[in-house]
Amino acid sequence: MFDPALTRALPLVELLPEPSRAGTATVEMPLGTASAGPELAGHLGRVVARSSDRVAWLRARSRGITATDVAKLSTPRSVMSAAYDKLHGTGFGGNVYTQHGRDREPAIASWVAATHGIHPSDALFHAERDRRHLATPDGLALNKSGALELAEIKTTNKDFNSIPRNYLRQIWWQQYVLGAERTLFVWEQHVNFVPVHDEPQCRWVDRDEKEIAKLVALATDLISELARRTRVAG
């Protein structure tokens, strides 16, 4: 869901170092693979912060590339725009539509939990292969076969015939960071802030390795551009 705090200018915080400089060995891994110590397996061992600790969560997000950042990445030119937004904010502080989304999210999340067993999450995770790659899915759960599934919640005054590409980029990025196989995209359409349907609508989105690879490449370009601009500003 939209959070106006994420559009404001943040202090120029140094990005996390590359994995090879972070004091741990660099291991080349296929996208989406996960390994962790026996005490915290998989994604549970990769929690960076929680949105309940607002300051820590915002600081952690400022030091990496999030699904919100990646949603903007579609072309090399978009990398330049995303770098500016990351360092200076967009100036958009929210409106009645974004407030409606925040107000409705708990009720929609409860519906998702009741109907699909995917429970709300406020955790910010880092990817196994790069700690600078971050995501905060709206919900997550392990299915009966042990595979990780996510949820992404939106409200809209539009009738979606297909999922918008910027939302798909968010979804694929979250799947990559968490190592998830699919995501339940959930949306509630409204007219004048009154829900159109008795229940939210939803659709499963499967993991797409080709799209994930494109996003990882664009995120790498964004990190390089942010590092360049930070050096110049310093």
Q: Within a 10 A sphere around the Cβ of 170, how many other Cβ atoms?
A: 25
Q: E strands of 8-147, at which residues?
A: 47-50, 119-120, 123-126, 134-135, 139-142
pLDDT for position 93: 66
Closest CA to 46 of 162, 181, 137: 137
pLDDT tens for the chain, 234 residues long, are: 544 444 444 444 456 566 544 433 222 223 333 333 333 458 889 999 998 898 999 899 989 999 999 999 999 999 999 999 988 887 666 789 888 888 999 999 999 999 999 999 999 999 999 999 999 999 999 999 999 999 999 999 998 889 999 999 999 999 999 999 999 999 999 999 999 999 999 999 999 999 999 999 999 999 999 989 888 765
Whole-prediction pTM: 0.83
